[in-house]
Amino acid sequence: MPVESIGGFFFRAKDPDSLATWYADHLGIGPGLGRTTKGAEGPYWRIGGGPVVFQPFPESSTYFPPDHRYMLNLRVSNLEGMLTRFERSGIAAETRPEWDDPVYGRFARIHDPEGNPIELWEPPAPLTDG
């Protein structure tokens, strides 16, 4: 029986409560496990259908900062709208024309307040599942 979906993403933080609030306020991600913050639907973050990529990278990869062991990739449906909100909130976002591809979609990068890299991915229309 194969895995059906990602069940969670767990990582250490210097200030977990503050960081959970930042993710809820700026990305609409609820922290789960009974905590309640803006963006949470009940105790868990509910995600819609669509593609999920699980991809180990070689140690030598420069795709994301070499001093981080992971990069969180979040599938979004309105990248331009999110970039506008980040700009208004003073959150630096990086985009590069070479990251975008009509086959794979559009990408942008931000960092949370603790410096963790976050990639925002807007898949092309045929890849989204509703």
Q: What is the reported pLDDT for 43? A: 53
CA torsion sign for 4, 107, 47, 12 is positive
Contact 110, 86 (CB under 8 A): yes
What does the pLDDT look like over 17-55, one tens digit per residue? 888 888 888 888 866 544 454 544 455 666 777 777 888
CB-count burial class (<10 Å; 0-12, 13-18, 19+) for 51: exposed
Residues above pLDDT 70, as percent of the chain: 78
Overall fold of domain 66-130: 2,3-Dihydroxybiphenyl 1,2-Dioxygenase; domain 1 (3.10.180)
For the chain, give the mean pLDDT.
82
Better-scored residue on pLDDT, 94 or 32: 94
Q: Delimit the domains of the chain by residue range.
A: 14-46, 66-130
pTM for the complete prediction? 0.78
